[in-house]
A and B are shown apart, each in its own frame.
Chain A
Amino acid sequence: MNTQADTDTNTPANTDTNTPAAAAVGTAVGTAPGTNWPYLEYTGVDSLRGPLMVVSGVRGVGFDEYVRIRGQDGELRYGVVAEVQEDLAVVQVLEGTGGLDPAGTRVAFSGTPLRIPVGLGWLGRMCDGRGTPVDGGPPVMGSRTAPVAGRPINPTRREPPSEPVLTGVSVIDALTTFVRGQKLPIFSVPGLPHLELATQIAGQAAAGSQPFCVVFAGMDLTHADAAFVRGALEERAAVGELILLINTSDAPVLERIMTPRIALTIAEELAFVHGRHVLVILADMTSYAEALREISAAREEIPARRAYPGYLYSDLAGIYERCGRIRGLPGSVTVLPVLTMPGGDITHPVPDLTGYITEGQIVLSAETAARGIYPPIDPLSSLSRLMRNGAGPGRTSAEHLPLAAQLLASLARARQVRDLADLIGADSLSRTDRGYLDFEDAFYKLLVDQRRTENRSLADTLDRCARVAFTLPRSELTMLPDRMLPAGLPSGKEQERK
């Protein structure tokens, strides 16, 4: 459209004369505090359908711009430009278009993709899913703004992750250690205590003596769940180590598209500018993906598996990949997504594509939960792919990796023995095999099972690991170097002879 012979007369009605200077300051904080709204408001709303609105007669509107919509009743809504063609803009309205009257609706385009203020001002704040404070405090201000879409990190500038984030949850710290800069999801099924676990981690996690904070982004939380999270994390918020963003179940669905991005934008500034190690918890990403599917359907895009859009992988990667460390900069961003697998199906697109992006996974097991064990983690199907980089001598302890390898190998063997015992009866097992059943009991009782408010030190956790391992005789502990084996440990051969 370089031929500017456009009939300019089609668009003059758009100039909003009511709001001269006032609109420019219009930083309705929390809704789009980083934006300076133009005076110009368009009225040419052509069509409304589901979350989509088509505005005609626009000029110079760019793809992905942030949009403010003023309904006929004066109520403000916000949206994002999904497509522009000549003088038409397709806008995705975060609150949906319900109740909007095309005749009275006025639309302002911000001129840029959404930006938010960033900085230390966020610490200790509690907000809705769009970053508007709900804690009664003043709007969040910052000296700078940053685009919520983020920017790709130059892969040659990434520092490979090392150093652990300790959660105080024994089974995680011992067997699937979190590493600073890693992305490690919790795979769960509805009904299991994943939100409790995520909240416990949010409350307890630390990076040694280094500055640390948590951004907790809740999506599709019921009011009860939101209240639980808020209550449980109050203490951490009070000391300025927590930022809470909660999109509740009754909040606009499309708001969920923004929540994780806002959380990560806040986190990046705290990490790479202010030198903090930041843990970002995203719960529940399945709800996020459903919101994405809803938009995709409204736009009549060609669906891929189970009606999720074909770009689900890239979209999720655009979120999860924002973790990491950067050469020469302090701080780190570690991402912990929580997701529920519909029907417990790990091949469902959301857990499947997440697994293709993240560096391992922590899997919760309904069976373990049924035995009353918390956290009900299945260590055998869980894996932290970067654990070797974050654990071991100088990071956790020299004993850590051999102990973890030994416990996992022995647990695998214990599982086999248990299957065998179910078949032939425990009495027919060899003495060594029966030892494995005792080992498994000790494993869950001593190491895994833990109170929801219990914050275990690494020393305590590793001590428990050793005690669990040493329920087995020396001959079964082939992965432990001799120096780690206590003097009095039965060899196993003698035991078998008895």
Chain B
Amino acid sequence: MDAVTGAVRRVAGPLVEIELDGGHTAAMSEQVLLGAARVPGEVVAIRGGVLTVQAYEYTGGLAPGDPVIPQHRPLSALLGAALLGGVFDGLLRPLAGAGDWLGGSGGAPDATPDERTWQFTPEADPGDPAPAGTRLGTLAVCTAVEHRVLVPPGLHENRPDPDGYGAPAQPRLDWIAPPGQYGQHAVVARVGGEPVALSERWPIRRPRPFRRRLDSVTPLHTGQRALDLLFPIAKGGSAAVPGGFGTGKTVLLQQIAKWCDADVIIYLGCGERGNEMAQVVDEISRLRDPRGGGRLAERTVVVANTSDMPMMARESSIYVGACVAEYYRDMGYDAVVIADSTSRWAEALREFASRSGALPAEEGFPADLASALAAFYERAGTVQTLGSGRGSVTVLGAVSPPGGDMAEPVTVHTERFVRARWTLDRDLAYARHYPAVSWAASFSRDAAALAHAAGFGPLRERLVLILARADRLADLVDLVGISALPAEERMAVLAGRLVREGVLQQSALSETDGYSPDRKTAALAEAVLAVIDRCFAVARAAGPVPVESVDFGPLLRAREQAGPQDVAVVEQCRDTVLAALDALAGGEAPR
């Protein structure tokens, strides 16, 4: 595998052209190692005898004539028990054991080998039919999710087939290892003559197979009221978070990573800040898992490709993330991939395309930007797995539009492929209304069905109407002043404010309110709606009374005062304000 069979011909940044010696070939997507430093690369185009390679590390010093070692296998990631709790680079190589600085003259992170072992418990017997997806046993990896050892897909794919009969239609389990401690490369079974190890290599660009797609109306509970109430997504759905710098994309996605009710979280820092990565890793390793009692980090996989790391590994990191998610989906779990930011990935595509002389489309992006985006977001879905279980991959991607321009290509194309768009608004962020999710510019294609499934249906409808009406009136208020409006309209403006400040605002920094479970979300929304109803009633019944002068503070502070489970506190706050309204109306409760 390590024979030099080619040479470098041209180097322009991450773009390297190579030629192979006579008689040697390489296929598209195959991995090659370049130069003495063995910079990993991938064949992305073949023209005549010249192969174009995308290099995944710094190519400084690489010269024409330098040796090339083809790997004769597609660029693939090592999937296995070592993933959970780990931090990896854009090619899924562990960063934990690597040095303070990466890749001297372009070498791979010199990670120390992972020597850990895990307890394997076999669950199948020799002689059992064992097609891909069959459960062979479990590994004790962490308390919150059980690591299931399955017969991997494609096990018999590359088997020589001299007789032309094809692989056995129903391979059987030949042998299975006894219970015991095993390392990640240990072989624990033999199926249809092929060894099954505790980890497998999977080509990152190839979606992992499943039986069929399922329709899913199970909401992904994010714990963020603005999303769960107004723009929910399904497990197996996808959402984009476009927003200018500083509007809160990272904070929002990190909140979801910490609190959503998926089983496994894949957090992908793609071309973003090193300090942010350090902080998120630090936080999840300290956070108690809301389920299971371990640490949240134990069921999280972090892929870190910060903006100072090689640009092309941003391109691969997106697929690596999807691959890892599918690996857990296939075990029957709900996995969530969070990519911050997909715009940096698209920039890597653009950079490479421009160096390879591809004809540019909009703003220099390659013409296949849309299909590349589709290929990523389409890896979301709820499926029936090969083992006949049910699993899902949810994809959430931040988009960083240049100049905050929502008409730029990445934002525009992404919208076509996602089920929801959570647009972050600069004005809201500037006014410190967090999360700055714009209710006017966001959408969720499955909102009605999901809100219904979560029991938020009627609440959602009312909130949406109230916000829309208040927005329509806002321009009028700017023009003529609030006092010039009739009572009914004044109440509508007030209602908008109460919904925004009492329900939608939610500080990620808050001890009590960073995460809002459904019960609290519903309680707050109901409390605010009850107060709004009473405001209208008082204004209608009691004539010209200054409803706005009532102290709504208790209601607006309820979200901070009530802990995640304190529904009673919310109700108290509501009652305080209702009483104040009644007092204003003259002591008697208006109807």
Binding site for B on A (CB under 8 A): 1-2, 4, 59-65, 82-87, 112-113, 147, 149-161, 181-182, 272, 301-305, 310-311, 313-314, 317-318, 321-322, 324, 326-327, 329, 347-349, 352-353, 355-357, 359-361, 381, 383, 385-386, 388, 412
Contacts and interface: CB of A to CB of B under 8 A. Distances in A.
A42 B394 CA distance: 57
B104 A63 contact: no
B60 interface: yes
Nearest to A323: B275
Contacts of A385: 246
A324 B275 CA distance: 7
B179 interface: no
B516 interface: no
A63 B13 contact: yes
B347 A313 contact: yes
Contact of B60 (A113, A302, A310, A314): A113
Interface in B282-321: 282, 304, 306-311
Contact of A355 (B17, B245, B310): B245
Given A63-B13, A86-B64, 17 more contacts: A60-B63, A61-B64, A64-B59, A85-B17, A112-B60, A154-B100, A156-B95, A157-B98, A158-B275, A160-B275, A272-B100, A302-B364, A304-B350, A304-B364, A321-B308, A356-B245, A360-B246
Contact of B273 (A64, A318, A357, A361): A357
Given A2-B19, A86-B9, A314 B307 contact: yes
A347 B273 CA distance: 20
B430 A318 contact: no
A311 B402 contact: no
Please provide the 3 A-B residue pairs with the shortest distance between their CB atoms, ordered closest to farther.
A317-B307, A347-B403, A2-B7
Contacts of A305: 363, 402-403
B11 A63 contact: yes
B275 A359 contact: yes
A352 B403 contact: yes
Given A113-B60, A304-B350, A321-B273, A347 B307 contact: no
A157 B100 contact: yes
B510 to A, nearest CB: 13
B383 interface: no
Nearest to B276: A359
B321 to A, nearest CB: 15
A157 B97 CA distance: 10
B344 A83 contact: no
B427 interface: no
Given A1-B19, A302-B360, A157 B62 contact: no
B193 interface: no
B455 interface: no
A412 B430 CA distance: 11
Q: Which of B60, B304, B509 has the most CB of A within 10 A?
A: B60
Given A86-B9, A329-B100, A353 B275 contact: no
Given A63-B60, A321-B274, A84 B10 contact: yes
A87 B10 CA distance: 9
B25 interface: no
B278 A322 contact: no
B204 interface: no
Contacts of A383: 246
B278 to A, nearest CB: 4
B64 A154 contact: no
B101 interface: yes
A1 B275 contact: no
A376 B102 CA distance: 41
Contacts of A302: 354, 360, 364
B100 A64 contact: no
Interface in B89-132: 95-96, 98-104, 109
A182 B246 CA distance: 15
Nearest to B430: A381
B279 interface: yes
A347 B401 CA distance: 10
A285 to B, nearest CB: 15
Contacts of B102: 151-154
A313 B314 CA distance: 13
A62 B62 contact: yes
B277 A158 contact: yes
B582 interface: no
Given A153-B308, A155-B306, A314 B351 contact: yes
B12 interface: yes
Contacts of A359: 273, 275
Contacts of A357: 273, 307
A357 B347 CA distance: 14
Given A156-B96, A321-B308, A322-B308, A310 B275 contact: no
30 contacts: A2-B7, A2-B21, A63-B60, A64-B61, A83-B13, A84-B10, A84-B12, A85-B64, A87-B64, A112-B60, A147-B60, A149-B58, A151-B103, A152-B101, A152-B102, A153-B100, A154-B98, A154-B109, A156-B304, A301-B354, A304-B402, A311-B347, A311-B351, A313-B307, A318-B307, A321-B274, A321-B307, A352-B245, A352-B403, A356-B245
Q: Which of B59, B62, B64, B246 has the most CB of A within 10 A?
A: B64
Given A152-B103, A311-B351, A86 B245 contact: no
B236 interface: no
Nearest to A181: B275
Contacts of A381: 430
A181 B304 CA distance: 19
B53 to A, nearest CB: 13
B246 A113 contact: no
B341 to A, nearest CB: 8
A1 B7 contact: yes
Given A155-B269, A310-B350, A303 B402 contact: no
A104 to B, nearest CB: 26
A59 B65 contact: yes
B450 interface: no
Contacts of B278: 155-156, 158-160
Contacts of B403: 305, 347-349, 352
B44 to A, nearest CB: 17
A304 B346 CA distance: 13
A62 B99 contact: no
Contacts of B60: 62-65, 112-113, 147, 149
Contacts of B274: 153, 155, 158, 321, 324
Given A321-B308, A324-B274, A85 B10 contact: yes
Contacts of A59: 65
B188 interface: no
Contacts of B350: 304, 310
A304 B362 CA distance: 9
B281 interface: yes
Contacts of A83: 10-13
A63 B245 contact: no
Contacts of B7: 1-2
Nearest to B304: A155
A63 B59 contact: yes
A347 B404 CA distance: 7
Interface string B1-17: 00000111111110001
A301 B353 CA distance: 11
B345 to A, nearest CB: 12
B402 A352 contact: yes
Nearest to A305: B402
B405 interface: yes
